[in-house]
Chain A
Amino acid sequence: AQSVTQLDSHVSVSEGTPVLLRCNYSSSYSPSLFWYVQHPNKGLQLLLKYTSAATLVKGINGFEAEFKKSETSFHLTKPSAHMSDAAEYFCVVTTGGSYIPTFGRGTSLIVHP
């Protein structure tokens, strides 16, 4: 069984300040974890993925995430927010080659000028 919880439905930051989007997961086996971004009225785009290699994963647009097995977390961070980062972010888990990914409910990132 697998599940994912995004701990915040909305996160609001000022431009130039750090971003932290939190994700906890539950998985019976070694998970694969993903972060996707969805801009308004668009499809989802892969930001980064963890598949049992390095625990610190770097993605596009300056985002990165750290896999912490002991905390069952995969939080997404960025040192400095940009206005263009305003979007919906989804944390996703799959387990053991399963064809069925489980999506979190999403976190809306709001960036203020």
Chain B
Amino acid sequence: NAGVTQTPKFQVLKTGQSMTLQCAQDMNHNSMYWYRQDPGMGLRLIYYSASEGTTDKGEVPNGYNVSRLNKREFSLRLESAAPSQTSVYFCASSALGGHEQYFGPGTRLTVT
């Protein structure tokens, strides 16, 4: 039982490049989330998926897109990376909205 897994762990991009961050959970959870963490800002919600087949914007969605591929997988795409997107990205899942969340280990992204 791996919980929540994220790939890659580290990534360096040049401005304008694109990439997809992958997230998978094996707990049969309905809800999945993408956050970014910046120093002194706590965690900010980028997008979430309340259940398979639905996605919604969070607090800071600009510059990102998501896909809920199936119940297990929820990917985050940066179409044209910008230095302001340098951050640590966390994926999380929960059984239902409002329940405790389980977090992946994070992806450390640097955009130069």
Contacts and interface: CB of A to CB of B under 8 A. Distances in A.
B42 A90 contact: yes
Interface stretch (B66-74, B75-83, B95-103): B95-103
B34 interface: no
B45 interface: yes
B103 A49 contact: no
B101 A46 contact: yes
Interface string A13-49: 0000000000000000000101010000111111001
A42 B96 CA distance: 24
B21 interface: no
17 contacts: A9-B40, A32-B99, A41-B106, A44-B101, A46-B101, A90-B42, A94-B97, A94-B98, A96-B98, A99-B31, A99-B48, A99-B56, A99-B97, A100-B45, A100-B48, A103-B44, A105-B41
